[in-house]
Structure formats: C-alpha cells, structure tokens
Structure 1
C-alpha cells in the first residue's frame, strides 16, 4: 500500500473522495444469502486503540487499512463499518466497490473520559450518509440509570433514528445498560435482564422503527440469548466485543445465537482484524463460516 500516493491525493485532490463515492458500485444491504457479515473499524475515533494487551494496536493506520482490505477481499464479507477518515481512505483505495458501507455516527463518548456517556453525534450525519451514497448508519446507545445525562443521549438517538427513517436508510442501534464501577470505569452490563431491557428501549426510539436494526452482544450466559432476543421483532446483528484469549469460545457463542430468528448476521471488528495468531484471513473465514 502506497501511503505517499494516498496522502498526495488527499492533499492535492480532496474532491477525489466524493468522486469515488459517486462512482462506487453499490449492492443491496442483504445479499443472496440473506445474511450480513460486516467488519467494524470505528474504534479509533473514540480513542479506543487497544486490542487485548496491545495498548496502541489500532494506531498504525496503514496497518489497519491493510488488514481491512484483506478482510474485505475474503468471500462472504459484505462490508465495513467505520468513521469518515477510514471510509475515505477505503474509497480512495477502491476497496468499497459492491460492499455495504456503514457510517459510524456518534463517537463523542471518548473511551475513559469523564463525559464518556455523553456520546454526542460527532461522526457521520444522516445527510452525509445520504450524500455519499452509503448504505446504513450505526449509533451507540449506552444508558446509565444513575446519570441524568443519559436522557440527552437517548433523545438525540431518537432524533437520529427519525432522520435516517426519513431518508429510508437503515440505522443499526447498539444499546447497552451501563454503569461505573467503584474505580469510575464504565462497564456494560451483559446480564440477560440488562440486555433485554436495553433492546426494549432501543426498539421503541423514534417515530418509526421501519429502518431500525439492532446490534447486540451475546449475553454472559449464551443460553439466555433465545429469551433475550424475543424482546423485539427488529432484525439484529451480533457484535464481536473485546478480544479474549478464548476465541474458539467466542465463535461457539456466535454460532448458537446466529440460529435465532431475528439474528441476521455479525458485525465484528478487533477480534477478526487483530486475531491472537495474526491470521486475519483465517479469522474472517471462520466467522463467515458461522453464517
């Protein structure tokens, strides 16, 4: 990958990004399989650069782009979820042709910040997604019952759902019930009751749910997923979560949940782009095989 050429285009022809977006061949959200396999790379814009014990693993942009291009080239990978900077690079590299492109909408809740729950919409706006001919948007909704500021996040999320529905653009809502532990660190509750409640809240946002999808975690006890996913009829995808030592265990959790009627696919990032053995292609192929 020639970083010099990428920087030259950005410096001398910034209009090349929108030109590439305008000529990009598109596809439907769901392909012939009726399933969805999306690679996520929107973590850096929230300051979340770590992968496992590698604190700045995602900080090398060329390395990340090479991993993304490899993942996108594998059979069965439908597309990518990322922020504008990464999607602009991928557009210029021609890596998004015939792929589903999802813009990440709210990245204001920086990882570890005092205002992390005040997750404002600092990424793609609905009109950006429409203008660039992208295929969907994604937003993160973390709710802390002890933080009055969560109400502001909830309301802004509802308005974003409305704006996307007006444009007939799918929006993937990733809900969590969250709380701060005694050290002040924000934790997402993956218990069955908490995930059930978060799905119920997210499903009712906005004036129409016609274009709303859910992006949900597998619960702490995977056996609870069938009951949890009965909470809504909205189509859903599973998120990958943190990179752990037991990747095979993660695959098994995904495999079971993918059998549920509302679960339509996977949106996975770091565990596929930065697998413990370094074999990106093999990790992606394994995940695709689960579908």
Structure 2
C-alpha cells in the first residue's frame, strides 16, 4: 500500500464508528452464486501470524491488506471471512462491494495458550453481523474428548447457530476432533474423526436450515462428506510447498455433490512464489 493510502485509512479510522457504519449500510450486496471462492483471514485475532515458513508473515497489517485487496479484486472471488478489524479496514478501502461477507465469531482460544480449547466468542455476534448487513458468521468448533472446556465452546456454537438462523444468516461451522500433544493442539484428520465431528456440527442449534460446514481435505473425503447433507466449503489450511498437489486435492473435493466451493486464506495470500493474483486465479479456475 502507498503511503498516501495508509494515511487515508488511518484518518478514516480516527473519524470513528459512524463512517464504518455508513459504509456498511451503503455496501453493494452480492448476487447469488452457485460456486463460492471466499478469502479467509481471521488468524491474527487468535495470535496465529505464521504462513508457511514465515512465523510473522501476517504481522504487517498494511502488507496483509494489500494482499487481501489484490485477492478480492480478482475475477471469480465471491466473498471474504474475517474479524471486525480486518473487515472494517476493507470497508474503508472500498474492497467489499459485491462480496459475501462473513464475520468471525469465536477467537478466544488463543493459539499456544493453556485455554486454547475454551474458544469463547470474543468477536462478532449474530446481532452485530446482522446490523452491518453481512451474510453470515463463522465459528471454529474443536472438540477435545480430554478437555472439559470443550463443552463451553460446543454450547456457545449451538447458540450462535440458532441466533444467526433466526436472522436468516448463514452459520459457517468449522469442526475438528483435537488433542493436546506435547502442549500443542493437533487436529485429528482421519476419516473416522471427521465423520464424527461433522455429525456433531450438523446437529447444532434449533435449525440447520442456514448451516454450512467448513472442512479440510482428508483421506476418504467422499465417505466423510456422506456424513451430512449440509452445504460444505473446503478450507485451505497451511501453506504447502507443492501448490499443484494442493490444487489437485481441491479439484477432487469440488467434484463432490455437497461441496459449494473454497474458503482459503494463507495458501492464497502467502503462496510460495508470493504471487497472490496467480494463486487466486488458479484456485478460481477450479470452480
């Protein structure tokens, strides 16, 4: 971002919430899409700044916003997922017109902490998402059979699904079976574990009419996806060295009947060759 654009953004921030509210109200809403290409960026709010081999890749907010604006401007990109600070920056930069916007809701389980599994809702609320005219909310649901705090996250996600649905908003649920191994949270990506957590996530709330699932590519994906009739989006995960292999795995997933598209962040914003536009175009091409 140029220095003058940075100054404009900071000046707009100083003018306060009124300007952000006005821009949210004036935002041009997206049309209907059969396939979705959503750019995700809610990692920093959990203190997770790594992308590939770069431990602080996402620490420079202006560089990150530059990458996001490049990605959102590419043809075929339909939406964005983020926390309030990121989405409001993008509003101020005029980058959210015609995009489906999803607010990230539970960011309390900070990466690397002893309370990581107690993933409290410290971000968007259903009421806040509705007030800003966004299309839905996203929540992370990690289930650790050995951690009693999991049930608080489970209960909070159930309430959030119901609250979003009562407003006609999409609830995007990202479920994992997780374990703490040598002090770090690890997700179990076996087919059996994913089938189990999908079954739990699909049953959250007092209706599933507005629930979408956000799921990784795992072995036996066809059998995993058969666990639910809910619409699903494939997440990108960590930045991989072999982009062609990653693209091929997404291509296979997109052939399954419940998969609507992709929701990808670091893999496209911080590709190995650092060419964001090229990475995004390759992903869009799969749709």
Instruction: Give the TM-score taking structure 1 as reference length.
Output: 0.96
Query: 1:5 is matched with which residue?
Result: 8
Query: 1:143 is matched with which residue?
Result: 143
Q: Distance in 1 between matches of 2:102 and 2:149?
A: 27
Q: Secondary structure at the match of 1:282?
A: helix
Query: 2:159 is matched with which residue?
Result: 159
Query: 1:250 is matched with which residue?
Result: 246
Question: For each residue in 1:126-152, what CA deviation from the matched residue of structure 2 results, as whole angstroms up to 9, or x when unmatched?
Answer: 001000000111000000011111111
The aligned runs of 1:162-241 (5 Å cut-off) are 162-181=162-181, 183-219=182-218, 221=219, 224-241=220-237
Query: 1:103 is matched with which residue?
Result: 103
Q: Distance in 1 between matches of 2:168 and 2:85?
A: 24
Q: Distance in 2 between matches of 1:143 and 1:271?
A: 25
Query: 1:283 is matched with which residue?
Result: 279
Cα deviation for residue 5 of structure 1 reads: 1.3
The aligned runs of 1:39-54 (5 Å cut-off) are 39-54=39-54
Cα deviation for residue 103 of structure 1 reads: 0.4
Q: Secondary structure at the match of 1:15?
A: helix
Cα deviation for residue 85 of structure 1 reads: 0.2
Q: Distance in 1 between matches of 2:129 and 2:241?
A: 36
Cα deviation for residue 25 of structure 1 reads: 0.7
Which stretches of structure 1, 4 residues or longer, exceed 6 Å deviation after superposition?
A: none
Q: CA RMSD in A?
A: 0.8
Cα deviation for residue 247 of structure 1 reads: 1.7
Q: Gapped runs of 5+ residues in structure 1?
A: none
Q: Distance in 2 between matches of 1:27 and 1:229?
A: 27
Q: Gapped runs of 5+ residues in structure 2?
A: none
Q: Distance in 2 between matches of 1:150 and 1:252?
A: 34
Question: For each residue in 1:93-122, what CA deviation from the matched residue of structure 2 results, as whole angstroms up to 9, or x when unmatched?
Answer: 110011111100000011111100000000
Q: Distance in 2 between matches of 1:243 and 1:27?
A: 29
Q: Distance in 1 between matches of 2:117 and 2:88?
A: 27
Q: Distance in 1 between matches of 2:112 and 2:53?
A: 16
Query: 1:84 is matched with which residue?
Result: 84
User: Among 22, 25, 37, which residue is 2:25 paired with?
Assistant: 22
Aligned length: 284
Q: Distance in 1 between matches of 2:15 and 2:243?
A: 43
Q: Secondary structure at the match of 1:172?
A: strand
User: Among 224, 247, 263, which residue is 2:259 paired with?
Assistant: 263
Cα deviation for residue 14 of structure 1 reads: 3.3
Question: For each residue in 1:230-258, what CA deviation from the matched residue of structure 2 results, as whole angstroms up to 9, or x when unmatched?
Answer: 00000000000111212211111111011
